[in-house]
Structures are given as structure tokens and as C-alpha cells.
């Protein structure tokens, strides 16, 4: 089981749409997956699920437990203010330490409305993941100008984007 994380709590995000697309790619490759959508985080989780409250918030725990389903993750990460979303960082901070994502193999997909395609977000997140004992797949996919690439049907307009995601998913399965 591969857990695909939509890395923002923004409702109806493009990250969620890309996460669904990635799940379809995994299905085509014969892999089972599930979606962990940070839009389902409880609104109060920063004050009620972190630090001395780790493990005490049932709604947060339901999402955190999804990470235990398998050894591999895909994180679809939009770039917010030259980094990754604060909701994703807070979610990671709320995971049991040193457990949570320790030992996981992680593929990163960055997206942005600008030309860098989430490069800074993935760089920052890579540092956090490696500090926590995760192995990050070297093939990080950048999806720049996502507003032009992502279509109304949840597909991607550019063949290169589709190819890069498929190649990354194939590499993740072998990782």
C-alpha cells in the first residue's frame, strides 16, 4: 500500500487533484494506494494534537495511522511562500517521534503556478524528511505552471508531466 499525501489543507486544492491523478498512475502500474488528504485535518489540530497532546486527538490520529499502511509515500506538495505548506509541517510535527515517517521511502511531487514547479518546497521538505529518517527518491517531479497544465478533468495537458509522473511512480515501486 502506498499512501499518497495531498500536502495542503486547502479545500479542493490542485495538490489533491494531482494526488488523485498519481493514484490512477499507481493503479495502472498494479500498485494499491490510498489518499491522505490534509484538507481532512481538524481545524484545531495545532492546539489539540501536537506536543503534549500527541496521540490524543482521534481525528488527527486517523490520518496519522494511514501512514502505517505501507513503507512508501508520495507527497504532492504545492509551493507556498517559497516553501511547503505550514499545515504539512504541523502535521509532520504532530506525528509520534521518532516514529511517524521514519524508515519510509518517499517520492516528492512539487507544483506551483510559477516556473519553479515547487522546487524550493521539495528542497525544504527533503531536509525535514531526511532528518526524520525517511529515504527520499532522487527523481523529484516538478510541475511548473500548474494552472496551465492541470485540466478540468483532473488530467495533465503536457505529455512531459504525464511521463515524469509515470517514470517516478515506476521508480518508487522499485525503490
- Tens-binned pLDDT, residue by residue, of the chain (175 aa): 999 999 999 998 999 999 999 999 999 999 999 999 999 999 999 988 888 888 888 999 999 999 999 999 999 999 999 999 999 999 999 998 877 899 999 999 999 999 999 999 999 999 999 999 999 999 999 999 999 999 999 899 999 999 999 999 999 999 9
Q: What is the CA radius of gyration of the chain?
A: 15
Q: Which helix (H) or strand (E) holds 175?
A: none
Q: What is the CATH number of the domain that holds 68?
A: 3.40.50.360
Question: How far is 154 from 21, CA to CA, in rounded Å?
Answer: 7
CB count in 10 Å sphere of residue 22? 25
DSSP 5: E
Residue ranges making up the domain that contains 104 = 2-174
Read off the pTM. 0.95
Q: How many domains does the chain have?
A: 1
Q: Where are the extended beta strands (E) located within the chain?
A: 2-6, 33-37, 72-78, 105-111, 135-136, 141-143
* Residue 39 near residue 72, CB atoms below 8 Å: no
Question: How far is 98 from 106, CA to CA, in rounded Å?
Answer: 16
Question: How far is 16 from 22, CA to CA, in rounded Å?
Answer: 10
- Structure confidence by residue, pLDDT tens digits, 101-134: 999 999 999 999 999 999 999 999 999 999 999 9
- Greatest alpha-carbon pair distance for the chain in Å reads 47
Amino acid at each position: 500500500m502506498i499512501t499518497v499525501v495531498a500536502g495542503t489543507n486547502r479545500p479542493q486544492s490542485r495538490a489533491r487533484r494531482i494526488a488523485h491523478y498519481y493514484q490512477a498512475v499507481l493503479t495502472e502500474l498494479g500498485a494499491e494506494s490510498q489518499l491522505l488528504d490534509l484538507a481532512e485535518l481538524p481545524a484545531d489540530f495545532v492546539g489539540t494534537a501536537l506536543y503534549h497532546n500527541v496521540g490524543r486527538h482521534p481525528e488527527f490520529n486517523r490520518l496519522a495511522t494511514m501512514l502505517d499502511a505501507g513503507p512508501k509515500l508520495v507527497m504532492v506538495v504545492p509551493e507556498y511562500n517559497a516553501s511547503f505548506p505550514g499545515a504539512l509541517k504541523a502535521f509532520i510535527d504532530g506525528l509520534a517521534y521518532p516514529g511517524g515517517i521514519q524508515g519510509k521511502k518517499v517520492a516528492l511531487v512539487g507544483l506551483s503556478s510559477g516556473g519553479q514547479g515547487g522546487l524550493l518546497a521539495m528542497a525544504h521538505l527533503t531536509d525535514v524528511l531526511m532528518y526524520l529518517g525517511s529515504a527520499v527518491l532522487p527523481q523529484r517531479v516538478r510541475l511548473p505552471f500548474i494552472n496551465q497544465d492541470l485540466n478540468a478533468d483532473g488530467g495533465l495537458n503536457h505529455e512531459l508531466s504525464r511521463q515524469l509522473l509515470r517514470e517516478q511512480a515506476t521508480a518508487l515501486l522499485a525503490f
